[in-house]
Structure 1
Amino acid sequence: MLGSGLSNQVGASVGALAFPVIGPAGVVAVRQWVAAVLLYAVGRPRFGRFTGAQWRPVLGLALVFAAMNLSLYTAIDRIGLGLAVTLEFLGPLAVALGGSRRRLDAVCALAAAGAVAVLVRPRPSTDYLGIGLGLLAAVCWASYILLNRTVARRVPGLQGSAAAAVVSAAAYVPIGALVLWRNPPTGAALLCALTAGVLSSAVPFLADLLALRRVPAQFFGVFMSVNPVFAALVGWAVLDQRLDPLAWSAILVIVGTNALAVITSSARRPR
C-alpha cells in the first residue's frame, strides 16, 4: 500500500515535468494509453458479448475516467500537486460521508468543509480555475467509485474496467495525436509521460490488487487517506512546490476526517 501511494504521486510529479513541452493533455493521453494496454491484458474484455445494460455504465465510466485524469493533471499544472490531489480526494470522502445521518459524520463533513475553505481562501496568487478543476476531479472520482460498483455488478471480473480504459484511451487518440503534433515531444518529455503512465496506472493497479488480498478493505480505505500527504511531500521533493502551515493543517484535517469516517463506519457495521 505504501508503494502504491508513493508510486501514484511520484508518477504524477514526473508527468508534470513534461507539462512545459506537451502540456497536461499530452501527458494524460499517454497515461490513458498505458492504462488501456495494462487493463486490457489483465481483464481481456469481450466487447462483442456486452449487452446494452452493460455498455451504459462502461461508457459512463470511460467518460469519467478521461475527465478525471485531464482535470486533475491540468489542476496540478496550475495549483500544484499537493493542493490538486487534496481537492480531488474530497470525492471519495463525499462518498464515504454521503447518505449518513450520524452526528459524527456531520462533524467530519463540517471539518472537511472548513479545511477546504482554508485551502481555497482568496489570496493574490489564488488560481480559481485550477481550484475548480481540482473540485471537478473530485466529482469525477466520486462518480468513478459509484459507477465502478455498477460495472462490477453487471460485468464479470475486470472486463468492465478494462473495457472502460480501452474506450477512454481510444477517445484520446485524436486528442493526443493533435496535441503531440502541435507540440512535438522531446525524448525526455515522452519518457516522463510514459513513466507517469507506468507509475500512476500500472504499478498502483497491480499493487492494490495484491494488497487487497492481504489486508481488510477497511484498513485499505483508511490508508488511502495518506495520498494527499504523499502528494504534498512528493510535490515539495520533486517539483519544489511548498505549502504554507495553514495548507498543511487543512490537508491533515481532510485526511483525518476520512480516516475517522471509514473507521467508525466499519466499526458500526454488523459482522
Structure 2
Amino acid sequence: MLASSASNQTGAALGAMAFPTIGPVGVVAIRQVVTAIVLVPIVRPKFRGLHKFQWLPILGLVVVFSVMNLSLYAAIDRIGLGLAVTLEFLGPLTVAIASSRRALDVASAVLACVGVVVLTAPGPTTDLVGVTLALLAAAAWGSYVLLNRSVGQRLPGLQGTAVASSVTAAAWAPVAVAWFVSHVPSATAVALAVACGLMSSIAPYVADLLALRRVPNHVFGTFTSVNPIWAALAGWLVLHQALGVNEWVGIGLIVVSNVLVSACGARALPTP
C-alpha cells in the first residue's frame, strides 16, 4: 500500500517535470496511451458482446479518466503537487462521508472543510483557478469511485478498466497528434511522461490488487490517507516545491479526517 502511494505521487512529480516542454495536455496524452499499451495486453478485454448497460459506466469512466488527470495536472502546474493532490483527495472522502449518517462522519466532514480553508488560505493572492481545477479533479475522482463500483458489478476483474483505458487512449490519440505538432516533445519529456504513466497508473493498479487480497477494505482506505503526504514530499524532493506551515496543517487535518472515516467506519460494520 505504501509502495503504491509512493509510486503514484513520484510518477506525478516526474510528469510535472515535463510540463515546461509538453505541458499538462502532453503528459496526460502520453500517460493514457502508455496505460492502454501495458494494461490491454495483460487483461485482454473483450469488446464484443458488451451490452448498453455495460457500456454506459465504461464511457463514464472514459470521461472521468480524462477530466481527472487533465484537471489534476493543470492544477499541479499552477499550485504545486502537494496542494493539488490534497484537494483532489476530497473526492473519495466526500463519497465515503456521503454514504454514512454517523455523527463522527459529519464531524470529519467539518474537519476536512477546516483543513481546506487552512490549506488554501483564501485571499487576494490565492490561485483560484488552480484550486478550482484541483476541486474539479476531486469531483472526477469521486465519480470514478462510484463508476468503478458499477463497472465492477457488471464486468469481471479489470475488464471494465481495460476497456475504458483503451477507449480513453483512442480518444486522446488525435489530441496528442495535434498537440505535439505545436509542442514538439523532447526525448527527455517523453521519457518523463512514460515514467509517469507506468508509475502513476500501472504500478498502483498491480500494487493495489495485491494489497486488497491481504488487507480489509477499511485498512486499505485508511492507508490511502498517506497520498497527500507522499505528494507533498515528492513535490519537495523532486520539484523543490516547499510548503508553508498552514499548508502542512491543512494537509494534516484532511488526512486525519479520512483516517477517522475509514478506520472508525469499520467499527460500524455488523459482525459476520
Whether the TM-score (by the shorter chain) exceeds 0.5 is yes
| Residue identity opposite 2:147 in structure 1 | L
Separation in structure 2 between the aligned mates of residue 255 and residue 39 of structure 1, nearest angstrom = 31
Partner of 1:247: 247
* In 2: Cα distance, 1:155 partner to 1:216 partner: 22
SS in 2 for 1:11: helix
1:70 aligns to what? 70
Q: Which runs of structure 1 show a deviation greater than 4 angstroms over 4 or more consecutive aligned residues?
A: none
- Equivalent pair of 1:42/1:158 in contact (CA under 8 Å): no
Q: Which residue of 2 aligns with 1:165?
A: 165
Equivalenced residue count is: 271
Q: In percent, how many aligned pairs have the same letter?
A: 53
Residue 209 of structure 1 and its aligned partner are, at CA, apart by: 1.1
**1:77-92, aligned counterparts within 5 Å?**
77-92=77-92
User: How many Å separate the matches in 1 of 2:43 and 2:182?
Assistant: 34
- Cross-structure match for 2:257: 257
Structure 2 residues not aligned, in runs of 5+: none
Distance across 1 between alignment mates of 2:13 and 2:125: 21
Aligned to 1:149: 149
Determine the structure 2 residue equivalent to 1:2. 2
SS in 2 for 1:47: coil
Deviates more, 1:42-51 or 1:137-146: 42-51
- The 10-residue stretch of structure 1 (213-222 or 143-152) with the greater mean CA deviation from structure 2: 213-222
State the match for 2:209 in structure 1.
209
Give the Å deviation of 1:120: 2.3
Deviation at 1:124, TM superposition (A): 4.4
1:18 match: 18
Given the two structures, how large is their TM-score scaled by the length of structure 1? 0.98
Question: Could you tell me how far apart the structure 2 residues matched to 1:154 and 1:99 are?
Answer: 21
Q: Which moved more, 1:3-12 or 1:210-219?
A: 210-219
Task: For structure 1, list consecutive stretches of 5 or more residues without a partner in the other structure.
Answer: none
Q: Does 1:190 align with 2:176?
A: no
Using the TM superposition, give the Cα deviation of residue 36 of structure 1 relative to its aligned residue in structure 2, in angstroms: 1.1
- Deviation for aligned residue 1:78: 0.5
CA contact 2:218–2:265 (8 Å) conserved in 1? no
Q: Which moved more, 1:251-260 or 1:114-123?
A: 114-123
The answer to whether the Cα contact below 8 Å between 1:34 and 1:201 also exists between their aligned partners in 2 is: no
1:8 Cα deviation from its structure 2 partner: 0.5
**Deviation at residue 183 of structure 1 after TM alignment:** 0.7
Output the aligned Cα RMSD: 1.0
Query: What residue in structure 2 maps to residue 115 of structure 1?
Result: 115
For 1:209 and 1:99, the matched residues in 2 are separated by 24
Q: Which piece of structure 1 moves more, 143-152 or 169-178?
A: 169-178
Answer whether contact 1:32 1:168 (CA < 8 A) is retained: yes
- The letter for the 1-side match of 2:236 is W
Distance 2:42 2:122 in 1: 45
How many Å separate the matches in 2 of 1:28 and 1:44?
A: 23
In structure 1, C-alpha distance between the alignment counterparts of 2:264 and 2:100, rounded to whole Å: 12
Deviation at 1:10, TM superposition (A): 0.6
TM-score by length of 2: 0.97
Equivalent position amino acid for 2:146 in 1: L
Cα distance in 2 for partners of 1:124, 1:192 equals 34
Cα deviation, residue 41, structure 1: 2.1
Quote the residue 1:218 is aligned against: 218
